[in-house]
């Protein structure tokens, strides 16, 4: 059975940083393209970015709203996906989900609140 478990969320002040993790199990993580999606309060789902598998080049793509502030990475030896979030703004307040490349499987999400 596939499990994706996000962690690392919390309350952070504007301008601060936070690193989210997504621990994966139940599938071959090394071959998977992994994606971060977020959902602000009362807002639609928003794709943040994606990292391809190393065998597919490991390319990373970002949404314009987070490019140059957020960094997606992965550690295939630990079956873990990361999202480093810098220069956080109040608009970044959301539940952050990790999902396997085809959006078949999702984690439960982790809440990030940016507030002074």
Can you give the binding site for another protein, defined by CB under 8 A?
44-47, 61, 63-64, 97, 102-104, 106-109
Comparison of 15 and 103: residue with beta carbon closer to another protein? 103
Minimum Å gap between C-beta 57 and another protein is: 15
| Residues present in the chain in total | 116
Comparison of 16 and 52: residue with beta carbon closer to another protein? 52
- Do residues 49 and 68 lie in contact, with contact meaning Cβ atoms separated by under 8 Å? no
Comparison of 77 and 104: residue with beta carbon closer to another protein? 104
Minimum Å gap between C-beta 96 and another protein is: 11
Minimum Å gap between C-beta 90 and another protein is: 21
User: Distance between CA atoms of 65 and 7, rounded to whole angstroms?
Assistant: 22
Strands 110-114 and 10-12 come out as: parallel
Comparison of 14 and 103: residue with beta carbon closer to another protein? 103
Neighbour tally for 89: CB within 10 Å: 14
- Is residue 103 left, alpha or beta, with left meaning phi > 0 and alpha meaning psi from -120 to 50? left
Minimum Å gap between C-beta 16 and another protein is: 25
């Amino acid at each position: 059975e596939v499990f994706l478990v996000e962690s690392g969320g919390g309350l952070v002040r504007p301008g601060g940083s936070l690193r989210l993790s997504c621990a994966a199990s139940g599938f071959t993580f090394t071959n998977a393209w992994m994606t971060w999606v977020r959902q602000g309060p009362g807002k639609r789902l928003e794709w943040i970015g994606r990292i391809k598998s190393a065998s597919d080049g490991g390319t990373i793509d970002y949404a314009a709203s987070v490019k140059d502030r957020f960094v997606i990475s992965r550690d295939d030896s630990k079956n873990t996906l990361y999202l480093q979030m810098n220069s956080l703004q109040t608009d970044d307040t959301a539940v952050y989900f990790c999902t396997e490349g085809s959006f078949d499987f999702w984690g439960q999400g982790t809440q990030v609140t940016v507030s002074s």
